[in-house]
Amino acid sequence: MKYKEYKQSISQLSTQVNQEILAFWKANQVFEQSVTSREGKPTFTFYEGPPSANGTPGIHHVMARTIKDIFCRYHTLKGKQVKRKGGWDTHGLPIELQVEKELGITKEDIGKKISVADYNKKCRETVMKYKDQWDELTEKMGYWVDLQNPYITFENKYIESCWWLLQQLYNKGLLYQGYTIQPYSPAAGTGLSSHELNQPGTYKMVKDTTIVAQFKIKGTPNDYFLAWTTTPWTLPANTALAVGKDIDYVKVKTHNQYTNQPVNVIMAKALMGKILGNKYVNRNDTEEEKFAGKIPYVVCEEMKGEELLGIEYEQLIPFAQPLENAENAFKVIAGDFVTTEDGTGIVHISPTFGADDFRAAKQAGVPPLTILDEEGKEMPLVDKQGRFVKSVKAQFDAYFDNSELKNKYIKPNYIKPEYEEKESAKENYLPSDVLISIMLKEQNKAFKVEKYEHTYPHCWRTDKPVLYYPLESWFIRTTALKDRLVELNKTINWKPESTGTGRFGNWLENLVDWNLSRSRYWGTPLPIWRTEDGKEEVCVGSIEELISLGFLSKEKANEYFDWDNLDKSNLSNALDIFPMSSTGRYISLQEIKRVVPDLESKLDLHKPFADDIVLIKHGLILNRVPDLIDVWFDSGAMPYAQWHYPFENQDIFKANYPADYISEGVDQTRGWFFTLHAIAGLVFDSVAFKNVVSTGLVLDKDGEKMSKRKGNVINPFEAIERYGVDAIRWYMVENSDPWDNLKFNLAGVEELQRKFFSTLQNTYNFFAMYANVDNYEIDEFNVMPYEQRSTLDRWVISVLQNLIETVDKAYTDYDVTKAVRAIQDFVCDQLSNWYVRLSRKRFWIGEMTADKLAAYQTLHECLLVTAQLMSPVAPFFAEWLYKNMTDNIREKAKAKNTPLQYDSVHLTYFTEPNKNLIDKDLEQSMTLAQSICSLVHSIRKDKKIKVRQPLQKILIPILDEATKAQIEAVKDLIKTEVNIKEITYISDDSGILTKKIKPNFRELGKIYGKQMQAIAAEISKMSQADINRLEKEGEFIVYLNGNASKLTLKDVEISSEDIAGWSVAKDGNVTVALDITITDELREEGIARDLVNRIQNIRKDKGLEVQDKIKVFIQEGDKAVNMAIRKHAAYISGETQATVLELLPQVAQGEELEIDDWKVRLEVAVG
């Protein structure tokens, strides 16, 4: 058997194909070949966004990796060399958390219950926990990526490249130390990550003293801004007030409720009711302090927030002055975060204690309120223990004339246990918020003080409220090159475009400096060493540099290298040990290297080693800044670090930079996409990638996010096992564009399997079965010229060329959905349901003829091209199809160096469409044929005449000659398909056509515009005679409001509607009439065909093979039946491969058949 036949179900086949092809790829190293065979060809560079192997892969990873895989395979087909280095993302918080969970510890325990070294060792082990599962998925889903030599972000070489990049940034002045306002726990003495803040139970209801403070406008007797705060202790640090530009504000004339002084206060109009409450009464006369027990007020002015901008006010609590730019402080600025939800619509800004505040102040050039500590370092008014600094404390003490400040800690919660007893024991203890309230009330600066219940984040460790506090942080000055980054982004092809212009573009437009610092343990250390005062600072850019500059204390040298016991005979003298009388003895890494030659490989650049190294400069000790860097920097550095650039592989790097293509989830826009872009732009003034597909989410079938809790997670391994990878991959890209969210429904996969893959299987089986019977084998050097092939062949070949073009373009444009839909439509509708169906007879009957040969060659070509076109998406099934179609001639092809010489479809070169074979006219003909057949079927069904009953003719009205010619070209196909004898055409002079006229709105609209309705009405009134005259003369006059308007043919659409006295069906502008008269002759023919059908069924029931011969004996019966058999004996025997067909008076054996209204007894014998 030359072509293997596959009779199993499609699901069995899919599983089998997966296994066999995978084994084939492995045994023949097909992936490796697909890269090596393109050596020296242009490269198509793909960057793999590294997954983290500390979690298990999910179905969404199948989606993401399918998209990645498709375009790499496609460009391989196009002859490019596509290297794809795999990678692993190995640093970061999720890994730390997992380790902590496994060990049952918290961050607090690190350095106590477990050493940093052991902790990081554990992280290193955990990182690859599920690597096996990932590798298995990669292989099973047919994702081709180099897993043999992946980049791993925790390796020294990788870190070294990161350091080099950081040094580049540092040297350009783009890496600097600054501050960010972060959640900080004074009780624990540590910053909190947003993740820690998102722990359940962190947000608690608390009751705080809140103040609506009065900020006096400069140069006015008693005009005030009102601003509300839930953290009164931040008021001494106030340097600005923020308003919303578009918010409406009012100035209200009234009295202060605590001092009774007349005041004019400004607040948001929308919040006036809430602020004044029922203590106030609206009255024109506000001279009196009280009216009916309430305070009278009146609105005296209204304004927009915009008008308030820049107005200066007097400092509320002048206990300290800004260190710099004091002239820019104490004025009104704009804040996009200002709302009229609560408060006053005017927000008190203390840049040192609020993230929004910090940002808004910075934008407006407003300075923070800071002081210099004893060492001359700038710090906010509150220290890290949560206490006011001495100078502020002294001012409070002075105001309250009290030697021991009652509000030393800004929140009572922060009082350390050892003080608690002492301080709270005092009867007159009051929280600072209360003290400030008292002070402001007395000074006519508090409009309203009240308790307010709200949620506030608490430290999960100490259970005490967090403080938003400025912490030291290292930044990359991305803002310095913002415009360039924006410009570079415009050269990137984003799919979809909106992600690039919208989400990413806006992000770039509103860029802030990249905060690089992370206070963690497992990650790339920031390679900056500095003296305590920050005066000396070194950014290290390589391991070599580290060794040349670094020192280890003697203790550490012993710990890491067993220094005391090493053979140090090579060392010249003790000068190599740097003596520091006060701090101990340090040994330079250079010296250690002399004794430990493979030092580099023994280093671990992670903590704690990196922290244990000191640099010595001008006799000063430089310690490493303890921060780690954002893991996103790791992944953004992969174009360089994956090749250990610039320390190694400079040539490979240059040939593969920037990437032609990357793809990740749209949620990576501000993650990986950004970090790639930022590093490339800042360090190399380049883009990192030219094309990017951002993929959407994979949701469950109801559009819900998949989660373990909901139990709607789809296990990728099970799904693959059950449906095969190809159906899943195909489904994922066919169902919706990759960038839209996908509602993943296994029922849809199943449907696709039935619909598409099963059809393909059947089509192949059909080919294989007959090819084997006829001993057909493709011969690449002896194919029938296309012009000699049948209409049907030329048509399908033409359609195939269109398909190649469409698919090629779609893949080029990263529109994979378009590509697969086109392939699917071709296979199901054009190839299987039209070409094969109409060609069945050609394969079935008789000897090998030229026509039959053409049919084989045509079908072979279609299936082969289909295999190639679909191979990027369904790599297994495509391979299976390709091999089945070509394995039998491989040796010949290799010998002769033909396109089919490749063992795998994935090693072939993309078929070029042959435009000469595209015949648009023929395609239109076939479209007509398809629609005419469909219409005839529809009439037959309506009249209950089965297709097996031949009918005499159909009538097709023809309004132009071109259409007639097109139908003529396919008339035989139509006749066979719908079982009629002849087609006749009628033209409009036959007098039996009823025509319909319709305005061509598109044309008429241009001319008549508003008169459209009227003219449409006129056209609908036209009679048959009018239509005929328009057609004949090419114009027709209608009257609109008495004005003559000339209609021409292009202003209308004319179609034939009906044919008097016929059974008619109509679709678009095709109309068909069917002659439903059944003459005796036709009936006899119908009987013959019925008989053929029944005999075929009997053959099949008996399990006969296609080529088996039979003898048929029929018992005489109904006259018409007898006549039919006699007349059509040759036809019947031919169709059923009967060597004998006899009509006998009596047939004892056999069976009695009932067909319609007649019966027949017959026997079918083998032989």
Give the nearer residue to RNA in terms of CB position, either 282 or 1096: 1096
- Judged by CB under 7 A, the chain residues 1108 through 1127 that form the site for RNA are 1108
Catalytic member of 51, 69, 81, 89:
89
**How far is 8 from 5, CA to CA, in rounded Å?**
9
Q: How many residues interact with RNA (rule CB under 7 A)?
A: 79
Closest residue by Cα to residue 234 from 43, 369, 96, 373: 369
Q: Does 801 bind RNA (CB under 7 A)?
A: no
708 is in an annotated binding site: yes
Kindly state the smallest distance separating residue 1051's Cβ from RNA, in Å: 11
Nearer to RNA, 311 or 752 (CB): 752
Q: Pick from 147, 580, 947, 1143: which binds RNA (CB under 7 A)?
A: 947
In whole angstroms, the minimum distance from the beta carbon of 1057 to RNA comes to: 9
Cα three-residue angle 49-54-55, rounded to 5 degrees: 85
- Cβ nearer to RNA, comparing 34 with 830: 830
Distance from C-alpha of 579 to C-alpha of 873, rounded to nearest angstrom: 66
Interacting residue with RNA among 29, 337, 391, 943 (CB under 7 A): 337
Nearest to 873 by CA among 955, 1003, 746, 756: 756
Shortest Å distance, C-beta 691 to RNA: 18
Query: Is residue 763 within 8 Å of 836, Cβ to Cβ?
Result: yes
455 to each of 194, 211, 221, 345, 386, how far by Cα in Å? 16, 17, 38, 20, 20
**According to CB under 7 A, which residues from 1068 to 1107 bind RNA?**
1089, 1093, 1096-1097, 1099-1100, 1104-1106
Q: Is 566 helix (H, G, I), strand (E, B) or coil?
A: coil
CB atoms within 10 A of CB 1050: 11
Q: Can you tell me which of 222, 686, 691, 741 binds RNA, judged by CB under 7 A?
A: 741
Annotate each residue in 500-519 with x if it binds RNA (CB under 7 A) or - if it does not, as one string: --xx--x-------------
Among 946, 1032, 1050, 1126, binds RNA (CB under 7 A): 946
Report 124-183 residues binding RNA (CB under 7 A).
none
Between 618 and 1006, CB nearer to RNA: 1006
Q: Site residues for RNA, window 652-671 (CB under 7 A)?
A: 666-667, 669-671
* Distance in angstroms (rounded) separating the CA atoms of residues 155 and 90: 9
Please write down the HEC assignment for all residues of 408-433. CECCHHHCCHHHHHHHHCCCCCCCHH
Q: Which residue in this structure is represented by tokens 């919706």?
A: 736
Residue 1046 β-bridge partners: 1037
* Given the residues 112, 535, 708, 944, the one annotated as active site: 708
What is the helix (H) or strand (E) element at residue 614, kind and residue range?
Answer: strand 614-617
Q: Is 836 in the site for RNA (CB under 7 A)?
A: yes
Residue 956's contacts (CB-CB under 8 Å, 6 or more residues apart) are 932, 967, 983, 984, 985, 986, 1070, 1071, 1072, 1073
Question: How far is residue 422 from each of residues 179, 414, 728, measured CA to CA in Å?
Answer: 35, 14, 70
Measured from the CB atom, the residue of 274 and 670 that comes closer to RNA is: 670
d(CA 244, CA 225): 14
946 secondary structure, DSSP code: -
632 flagged as catalytic: yes
The answer to whether the beta carbons of residues 352 and 388 sit under 8 Å apart is: no
For residue 302, the one-letter residue type is E
CA distance 77 to 70: 11
Q: Which is nearer to RNA, 582 or 1013 (CB)?
A: 1013
Q: Is 473 in the site for RNA (CB under 7 A)?
A: no
Sites for RNA among residues 754-793 (CB under 7 A): 754-755, 758-759, 762-763, 765-766
Residues numbered 844 to 863 that lie near RNA (CB under 7 A) are 844
Out of 25, 50, 801, 957, the active site residue is: 50
Q: How far is the CB of 1156 from RNA (least distance, A)?
A: 8
Residue pair 733/815 in contact by the 8 Å Cβ criterion:
no
Which residue among 26, 101, 840, 943 contacts RNA (CB under 7 A)? 840
Instruction: Work out whether 334 is an interface residue with RNA (CB under 7 A).
Output: no
Q: Does 15 bind RNA (CB under 7 A)?
A: no
Which CB atom, from 642 or from 802, has the smaller least distance to RNA? 802
Q: Does 837 bind RNA (CB under 7 A)?
A: yes
Stretch that binds RNA, among 399-407, 784-792, 829-837, 1072-1080 (CB under 7 A): 829-837
Residue 270 engages RNA in binding (rule: CB under 7 A): no
Q: Closest separation between CB of residue 588 and RNA, Å?
A: 42
Decide if residue 499 touches RNA (CB under 7 A).
Answer: yes
How far is 331 from 364, CA to CA, in rounded Å? 10
Q: Specify the residue, 323 or 773, whose C-beta has the smaller distance to RNA.
A: 773
Is 208 labeled as catalytic in the residue annotation?
A: no
Residue from 283, 937, 971, 1127 in contact with RNA (CB under 7 A): 937
| CB closer to RNA, 1035 vs 1108 | 1108
Task: Return the residue of 806, 832, 925, 1045 that touches RNA, per CB under 7 A.
Answer: 832
Token pair listed for 431: 């929280």
Peptide bond into 322 cis (omega under 30): no
Residues 719-738, one symbol each (x = binds RNA by CB under 7 A, - = not), give ----------------xxx-
- Min CB(337)–RNA separation in Å: 6
What is the chain's length?
Answer: 1167
In which residue are the tokens 């050269």 written? 491
Residue 833 lies near RNA (rule: CB under 7 A): yes
83 carries an active-site annotation: no
Which position among 36, 321, 498, 914 is part of the footprint of RNA (CB under 7 A)? 498
d(CA 253, CA 221): 13
Q: Which 582-611 positions form the footprint of RNA (CB under 7 A)? A: none
Strands 528-530, 537-539: parallel, antiparallel or unpaired by DSSP? antiparallel
Active site residue 315: no
Phi, psi of 800 (to 5 degrees): -65, -40
Confirm or reject binding of residue 55 to RNA (CB under 7 A).
Answer: no
Could you tell me the two tokens for 163?
A: 């350091």
- Give min distance, CB of 732 to RNA, in A: 10
Catalytic residue among 144, 522, 563, 632: 632
Active site residue 89: yes
Distance between CA atoms of residues 140 and 719, nearest Å: 11
Q: Is 88 a catalytic residue?
A: no
953 given a catalytic annotation: no
Give 426 or 1109: the residue with its C-beta nearer to RNA. Answer: 1109
- Measured CA to CA, the distance from residue 746 to residue 723 in angstroms comes to 9
Tell me which residues in 698-717 interact with RNA (CB under 7 A). 701, 703, 705
Collapse the DSSP code of 451 into the 3-class scheme (helix H, G, I; strand E, B; otherwise coil) and give the result: strand
The full 3-state SS of 673-697, as one line of letters, equals: HHHHHHHHHHHHCCCCEEEEEEECC
Considering only residues 1126-1165, where is the footprint of RNA by CB under 7 A?
1136-1137
**Residues 959-1018 interacting with RNA (rule: CB under 7 A):** 999, 1001-1002, 1004-1006, 1009-1010, 1012-1013, 1016
Q: Give the whole-angstrom CA distance, residue 707 versus residue 711.
A: 6
Where in 892-934 does DSSP place strands (E)?
none
CA distances from 1060 to 288, 323, 998 (A): 98, 99, 21
Tally of CB atoms within 10 A around 329: 23
Active site amino acids: 50, 89, 632, 668, 672, 705, 708
Q: Which residues are annotated as a binding site for ATP?
A: 708
Q: Which residues are annotated as a binding site?
A: 708
